[in-house]
Amino acid sequence: IETIDFHGQSALRLVTAAGARVIVSLHGAQVLSWIPPGGEERLYLSPLARFDGSAAIRGGVPVCFPQFAGLGPLPHHGFARTAAWSVATERSGKDFALVTLALSDSDATRALWPHPFRAELGILIEDSRLDLELEVENTGSERFEFTAALHTYLAVREVEQSRLEGLHGYDYRDKVDADRIRRDSGDVLLIEAETDRLYQDVKRPLLLREYDRSLGINADGFPDVVVWNPWVERSVALPDLPANGFRHMLCVEAAAAHRPVHLGAGESWWGRQTLVAL
């Protein structure tokens, strides 16, 4: 585990003896690269991503907290992804590397959201697995609620040739169709148009299949799954995504968004997302 400069930002690089590697920026606790043993990048990071702190970084795994998307009055996806996190713990062994980053309330967070809290993101690589665990503790004396997500940008060779399995039969809220509730009826989800869906209470694992590789997507504590691809027109509206960027990414997000999480004084919650390169 070493500290590096990544596009002008302070970041940590984790490496295991088997050759797995991760880069995580302290800006937003955002994982920006994950290469399992074998050498292929499995997260999408936009070549036009901005690293000057003026915006969230387009790609990797933004941490959405304490608000998912526009579900409340806070900035889109909350403030955790644009905050400076600090290193809480670092551990590594023969086969694994683990860091935990932490964010607590400050004048800046309380100006937006008046609650004392401590959030931690644990990042673990072991063999072909990446585990991200978000823990939130209510360190104040009053109850609060939040929504959250790990907004994972998966790298795909060609999104139209990718198949996402495991969502069959689940209800989702369709943001590209006036937030209508629909039920997924296909055996696999194919991305052939703008897609922005919040699937509710999904049993995992999911499987993302490409013609020559697959990815297992598991989660615990995050009941919901968001699937997002901006497709052609919406990509044009995103200045930090190249025109053909949408072809090489698919967001499959672990979320607690359909129902907010309620935390009483002193209580904590955690949710974990596990990716396994296959």
Beta bridge partners of 163: 190, 209
Shortest distance in whole angstroms from residue 7 CB to ligand TA6: 17
First to last CA, the chain: 25
- For 100, the 3-state DSSP assignment is strand
The secondary structure of 158-226 as a DSSP string is: -GGG-EEES-TT-EEEEGGGTTEEEE--SSEEE--S-EEEEE-S--S-EEEE-SS-EEEEEEES--EEE
Out of 120, 131, 196, 224, which residue is the one contacting ligand TA6 (CB under 6 A)? 196
Site for ligand TA6 in 253-272 (CB under 6 A): 253
77 binds ligand TA6 (CB under 6 A): yes
Is 151 annotated as catalytic? Answer: yes
* Near ligand TA6 by CB under 6 A: residue from 24, 136, 156, 226: 226
Here's the x/- map for ligand TA6, 175-194, by CB under 6 A: it reads as: x-------------------
Residue 80 and residue 63 in contact, taking contact as beta carbons nearer than 8 Å: yes
Among the listed ranges 69-77, 87-95, 162-170, 269-277, the one in contact with ligand TA6 (CB under 6 A) is: 69-77
The alpha carbon torsion through 274, 62, 147, 99 (nearest 10 deg) reads 60
Name the residue nearer to ligand TA6 (CB basis): 187 or 201.
201
Using CB under 6 A as the binding criterion, the count of chain residues that bind ligand TA6 stands at 10
Q: Which of 142, 160, 253, 262 is catalytic?
A: 253
Nearer to ligand TA6, 13 or 175 (CB): 175
> Is 165 tagged catalytic?
no
Cβ count near 134 (within 10 Å): 25
Q: Which residues bind to ligand TA6, rule: CB under 6 A?
A: 56, 69, 76-77, 151, 175, 196, 226, 228, 253
- Known catalytic residues? 151, 253
